[in-house]
């Protein structure tokens, strides 16, 4: 029973990780840049959600459509203003985009600190725990896990069965080839950053129900998301699903048997192991 509970905990934790990483993964896949502001968007929206819910008693899940749309628009505008001009700079683009998103992350964190404070906050919503066949299952983790799965499913359907999704996928696989096929690569980059930002915003609303968050913890989330993306095979969204689940399951087992000190270094041990033994990541294995 303990092992089964560990598996359930690991899968639910993995669902949270998938949610955390898919936005970053999409941006990397299409634009070839690591969005260092990813964690900042998550924590900004997380503490914003806390603020709105404590002021209004609103169900935090009702904020999901709002933050999705706002982050979509803001992400699109930021990409056009800050990142698109770098696309013409050839090899320097990657380094400069890292610097821009690094700066952006600090601006967002400072905005969050000034608007909502720097303290750790969390919400008591969705804290029901159900017992199913002797296994404890928490409401917030289930919602986050299910949404993580739904988002990954939607990404899959969109990328493989719609014209715009196929265009985006083509851009991520070979931008030059996509241009020769008449795909507006510039538009694809804007779409990917907008959707990546919107996915980060969704993660922010849900994470505040799972973990205590504070605006300055943004870097920790960005690093964790990047580790999952790297484990999955940079830019491979199916790989990120497997990586999130693997990490959740391994951390669940390690935390139980070896304690909290070892649990926190699991992502980085896995990253080192994969980079040495299987640098292409899990995604290639999944295909």
Partner 1 sequence: MSGGTLRARGGAFLAPLIAVAFLFAATAVHAQKPIVVGASISETGPLAVDAAYHLKGIQLGVADANAHGGWLGRKLALKYYDDQSNPGTAVRLYTRLITEDKVDLLVGPYSSGISQAVAPLVNKYERPTPMPGASLPAIFSASNKWAFQLLPPATGYLDGILPLMKSQGAHKVAILQAQLSFTLACGQARLDQAKALGMDVVYSTTYAMPPPDFSSIALAIKSANPDGVVVCSYYPDAVGLAQALHRIGYAPKFFAETIGPAEDQFISALGPITNRIISNTSWWPALKTHDNAGFIARYKAMFHEDPDYHVAATYSAMEVLGAAVKATKSLDPAKLRDWIATHDVPTVEGTFKAGPTGLSIGFAQYMFQIQNGKRLLVWPVKDEQAKAQVPYTGQ
Task: Name the residues that contact partner 1, by CB under 8 A.
Answer: 2, 5-6, 9, 12-13, 54, 113, 118-124, 127, 129, 131, 136, 138, 140-141, 211-212, 214-217, 220, 251-257, 259-261, 263-264
Q: From the CB of 139, what's the least distance to partner 1, in Å?
A: 9
The CB-of-251 to partner 1 minimum distance in angstroms stands at 7
Nearer to partner 1, 90 or 260 (CB): 260
CB nearer to partner 1: give 30 or 254.
254
Task: Identify which of residues 56 and 164 has a Cβ nearer to partner 1 in the complex.
Answer: 56
d(C-alpha 99, C-alpha 109), whole Å: 15
CA 273, 203, 152, 272: dihedral to nearest 10 degrees? -10
What is the smallest separation between the CB atom of 224 and partner 1, expressed in angstroms? Answer: 11
Q: Which is nearer to partner 1, 165 or 212 (CB)?
A: 212
Closer to partner 1 by Cβ: residue 10 or 29: 10
CB of 128 to partner 1, least distance (A): 9
Residue 145 CB, nearest distance to partner 1 (Å)?
12
How far is Cα 200 from Cα 61, in angstroms, rounded to an integer?
A: 15
The nearer residue to partner 1, 158 or 256, going by C-beta atoms, is: 256
Which among 21, 31, 29 is positioned nearest to 80, based on CA atoms? 31
Residue 201 or 207: the one with the smaller Cβ distance to partner 1 is 207
Residue 121 CB, nearest approach to partner 1 (Å): 7
Least spacing, CB of residue 261 vs partner 1, in Å = 5
């Amino acid at each position: 029973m303990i092992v089964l509970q560990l598996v359930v905990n690991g899968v639910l934790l993995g669902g949270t990780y998938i949610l955390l990483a898919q936005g970053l993964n999409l941006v990397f896949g299409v634009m070839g840049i690591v969005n260092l502001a990813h964690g900042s968007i998550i924590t900004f929206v997380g503490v914003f959600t806390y603020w709105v819910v404590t002021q209004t008693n609103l169900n935090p899940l009702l904020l999901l459509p709002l933050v999705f749309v706002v982050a979509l628009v803001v992400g699109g505008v930021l990409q056009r203003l800050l990142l698109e001009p770098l696309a013409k700079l050839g090899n320097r683009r990657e380094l400069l985009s890292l610097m821009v998103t690094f700066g952006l992350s600090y601006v967002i964190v400072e905005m969050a600190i000034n608007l909502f404070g720097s303290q750790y906050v969390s919400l008591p919503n969705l804290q029901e725990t159900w017992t199913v066949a002797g296994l404890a299952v928490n409401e917030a983790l289930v919602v986050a896990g299910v949404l993580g799965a739904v988002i990954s499913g939607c990404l899959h359907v969109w990328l493989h069965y719609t014209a715009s999704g196929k265009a985006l996928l083509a851009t991520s696989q070979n931008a030059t080839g996509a241009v020769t096929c008449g795909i507006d690569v510039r538009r694809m980059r804007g779409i990917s950053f907008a959707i990546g930002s919107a996915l980060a915003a969704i993660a922010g609303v849900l994470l505040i129900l799972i973990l205590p968050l504070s605006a300055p913890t943004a870097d920790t989330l960005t690093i964790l998301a990047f580790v999952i993306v790297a484990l999955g095979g940079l830019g491979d969204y199916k790989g990120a699903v497997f990586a999130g689940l693997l990490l959740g399951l391994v951390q669940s087992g390690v935390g139980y048997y070896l304690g909290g000190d070892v649990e926190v270094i699991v992502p980085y041990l896995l990253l080192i192991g994969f980079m040495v033994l299987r640098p292409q990541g899990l995604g290639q294995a999944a295909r």
